[in-house]
Structure 1
Amino acid sequence: MKHYVGLDVSVKETSVCIVDENGKVCRERKVVSHPDDLITLLSDPQWRIERIGLEAGPLSQWLFDGLTKVNHPVICIETRHTKAFLKAQPNKSDRNDARGIAQMMRVNLFRAVHVKTLTSQKHRALLTARKLLQEKAIAIENDIRGLLRNFGLKVGAIGAVKYDERIRELLGELPDLEEILEPLLAARLKLRNEFAKLDRRVREAAKTNPVCQRLMTVPGVGPIVALAYTSTIDIPARFRNSRSVGAVLGLTPVLNQSGESCRIGHISLCGDRMMRTLLFEAAQTLLTRVAKWSWLKAWAMNLAKRRGAKRAIVALARRMAVILHRIWSDGSEFCWTRDALSAAAQR
């Protein structure tokens, strides 16, 4: 008889539920959230495990890798789809969630999530750490501006390089206030220095990656966007066609249809938020800062005249996501003119 397993993972313990092919609960236990403990429980020869369900979360990649190494049929399932399924239960608990996930595995009612490779996970961690340091440094700078404004001192428009010099210039006549703000300035300087180190590592990683080098031929796409794209998509072959990438990144409109009513709303905003934001910034850069003309910029400019700049930027971000996937899949580079694009398509 086949068996199906549901895992409800928390930081300390994981609730495990094993059901048979008729839906009968065969075993329920809580074990430590570690691959070795789960392997010990699931390796009992009495279980003929067909599928193991694991909800996507902070520990899911680690547990998934550990169970996969010993050839357990584990599947990482989509969080929102799982939440909607488990809402049918009147009472929410770890035990009931594990039961629900096990039943999802049994009736084959789940949506699998791609688990990234170790290289992509490391690149993603690097990008996240870089972004975190940048945000903390900007937050401290804004707080210092707010504190100085209480004393009538206005920092004004100033770049990150001369920020410290400008603050000390304003504090020249207020030594007491300078003593108060000195720890904030020191913390801000430390964050900026560490951010610069991670920024160099990101650019070096993109420079040594041939895929990133090809993606950077697209106007508006730099090393940050290229490395983030490769770490997000991970394996381009998992998409049946390039156009589906826009939907996965949450850049396609939401459709709400019921009976005779059919409304198309804003973009879905599902998927990777960091990648969506970076594509939006790349689209803005292409429209406002890239001087060299291309068929892609001409298309976006014409769309902006008809539908407005905001919609044009969103549409351009979606199209750039599709183009990047096609370049990655074909091993080609960006074509700046329509003629070059047609010639490449014919080849």
Structure 2
Amino acid sequence: MDYYAGLDVSLEKTHICVLDRDGTVIHEVTASSSAEAISAALAKAPACTRVVFETGRMAPMLYHGLAELGVPVVCVESRQAYQALKTLATHKTDRNDARGLAQLARTGFFKPVHVKSLPAHAVRALIIARKKLVGQRVTLENQIRGLAVVFGVRLPRGLSPAFVDQVIAMSEGIAGLSGAMRGLMAARHAVLGAIAAIDADMKKLVRASDACRRLMTIPGVGQLTALAFTAAIDDPGRFRRSRDLGAYLGLVPRRYQSGEIDYVGGISKVGDRRVRTLLYESANVMLTRYKGDLKLKDWALAIARRSTMRKARIALARRLAIIMHSMLRHGTDFRPA
């Protein structure tokens, strides 16, 4: 007989429910949220054909850990699971969620998702950390600029060392302001050092990656875009068609159809927001700064003449995603023609 299990995962505890083919509860237990503890708890029940849990912060670690231990684990989309679990139980409890996930495993009514490798998550963490630090730098610079305006000093958007010295000299002798400016400038200097260290690490990763170097041959694609794209795709073979990348990254129009209603709106904006933004910026660089002859650029400019420049950037970003995936999948170089 086949058996199926559902895991309701939290940071500390995981509720486990095992069902048989007829939907009868065979085994229920709570274990700590680690691959070893969950595997040991499942070993006390009959061998399961399928073990299902939802996407979440613990998903990468548990998925790869359980897979290494030989557990037939499947990660499912949390939004789909949420809608299904609402119909299976009146009260939302961890125990009921585990039972509902086990029912999804038994019926096969779920959509499995690809769990990225841990190295891909590590690269993504580096990119997220850089984005957060850049935001902190901008916040500090805006604060310095705002305090300086109160005393009649207008600073430009880009704070160079010369302007930093001007700010410190301006605040000397003013009780309170001098300490505030020195503290803000020290924090900004520390943030700039951290950003420079992350940029150096990213440069090393790009140099060690043949895929990133190939992607950077595309006009407008830099090391940050190449690194973020390869980390988001992880395994190019999981996409059967390159044109699926547009929907995966939220660069296709959202559509709502019901009876006589058929509405096509803006892009869906699902998926990795950071990669979508970087592709949009790359498209903008190609359209506005690249001076060479390129059919891809001419194609996007023709869209801009028929419609708007914004739609041309979106269309070009979608086309770039398709081209970059094809390059990763086939190991080919960029062909300008």
Q: Which residue of 1 aligns with 2:50?
A: 51
Q: Which residue of 2 aligns with 1:138?
A: 138
Give the Cα–Cα distance (whole angstroms) in 1 for the partners of residues 160 and 314 of structure 2. Answer: 29
Q: Which residue of 2 aligns with 1:326?
A: 326
Within 5 Å, give how 1:271-282 maps onto structure 2: 271-282=271-282
Q: Which residue of 2 aligns with 1:256?
A: 256
Q: Which residue of 2 aligns with 1:183?
A: 183
Report if aligned partners of 1:207, 1:223 keep a CA contact under 8 Å in 2: no
Shift of 1:168: 2.5
Give the Cα–Cα distance (whole angstroms) in 1 for the partners of residues 217 and 167 of structure 2. Answer: 40
Q: Which residue of 1 aligns with 2:287?
A: 287
Give the Cα–Cα distance (whole angstroms) in 2 for the partners of residues 298 and 59 of structure 1. Answer: 45
Report if aligned partners of 2:168, 2:181 keep a CA contact under 8 Å in 1: no
Shift of 1:24: 1.6
Shift of 1:67: 0.8
Q: Which residue of 2 aligns with 1:73?
A: 72
Do the aligned partners of residues 217 and 54 (structure 1) sit closer, same or farther apart at CA in structure 2, a change above 3 Å counting? same
Q: Which residue of 1 aligns with 2:266?
A: 266
Corresponding residue SS for 2:128:
helix
Report if aligned partners of 1:16, 1:31 keep a CA contact under 8 Å in 2: yes
Give the Cα–Cα distance (whole angstroms) in 2 for the partners of residues 111 and 322 of structure 1. Answer: 23
Q: Which residue of 1 aligns with 2:301?
A: 301
Greater Cα shift, 48-57 or 126-135? 126-135
Shift of 1:163: 5.5
> Which residues of structure 2 form unaligned runs of 5+?
none
Give the Cα–Cα distance (whole angstroms) in 1 for the partners of residues 324 and 69 of structure 2. Answer: 35
Q: Which residue of 2 aligns with 1:343?
A: none
Give the Cα–Cα distance (whole angstroms) in 2 for the partners of residues 274 and 164 of structure 1. Answer: 31
Corresponding residue SS for 1:251:
coil
Corresponding residue SS for 2:176:
helix
> Which residues of structure 1 form unaligned runs of 5+?
338-347
Greater Cα shift, 173-182 or 263-272? 173-182
Corresponding residue SS for 1:84:
helix
Shift of 1:87: 2.7
Corresponding residue SS for 1:292:
coil
Corresponding residue SS for 1:63:
helix
Identity over aligned pairs, percent? 39
Residues 140-186 of structure 1, C-alpha deviations (whole Å, 9 max, x = no match): 22222233334443222324665633532543564530212222211
Q: Which residue of 2 aligns with 1:335?
A: 335
Report if aligned partners of 1:55, 1:78 keep a CA contact under 8 Å in 2: yes
Within 5 Å, give how 1:30-49 maps onto structure 2: 30-44=30-44, 46-49=45-48
Give the Cα–Cα distance (whole angstroms) in 1 for the partners of residues 135 and 232 of structure 2. Answer: 21
Report if aligned partners of 1:155, 1:166 keep a CA contact under 8 Å in 2: no
Do the aligned partners of residues 78 and 26 (structure 1) sit closer, same or farther apart at CA in structure 2, a change above 3 Å counting? same
Do the aligned partners of residues 163 and 65 (structure 1) sit closer, same or farther apart at CA in structure 2, a change above 3 Å counting? farther
Do the aligned partners of residues 25 and 147 (structure 1) sit closer, same or farther apart at CA in structure 2, a change above 3 Å counting? farther
Report if aligned partners of 2:249, 2:269 keep a CA contact under 8 Å in 1: yes
Shift of 1:33: 0.8
Do the aligned partners of residues 148 and 115 (structure 1) sit closer, same or farther apart at CA in structure 2, a change above 3 Å counting? same
TM-score (norm 1): 0.92
Corresponding residue SS for 1:75:
strand
- Does 2:124 correspond to 1:127? no
Q: Which residue of 1 aligns with 2:245?
A: 245
Question: How many residue pairs are counted as aligned between the two chains?
Answer: 336
Within 5 Å, give how 1:71-150 maps onto structure 2: 71-88=70-87, 89-150=89-150
Give the Cα–Cα distance (whole angstroms) in 2 for the partners of residues 101 and 124 of structure 1. Answer: 29
Give the Cα–Cα distance (whole angstroms) in 1 for the partners of residues 166 and 283 of structure 2. Answer: 33
Give the Cα–Cα distance (whole angstroms) in 2 for the partners of residues 228 and 163 of structure 1. Answer: 33
Do the aligned partners of residues 163 and 277 (structure 1) sit closer, same or farther apart at CA in structure 2, a change above 3 Å counting? farther
Do the aligned partners of residues 77 and 141 (structure 1) sit closer, same or farther apart at CA in structure 2, a change above 3 Å counting? same
TM-score (norm 2): 0.94
Do the aligned partners of residues 169 and 298 (structure 1) sit closer, same or farther apart at CA in structure 2, a change above 3 Å counting? farther
Residues 21-48 of structure 1, C-alpha deviations (whole Å, 9 max, x = no match): 111222222211111110110112x413
Report if aligned partners of 2:29, 2:41 keep a CA contact under 8 Å in 1: no
Q: Which residue of 2 aligns with 1:345?
A: none
Give the Cα–Cα distance (whole angstroms) in 2 for the partners of residues 67 and 165 of structure 1. Answer: 56
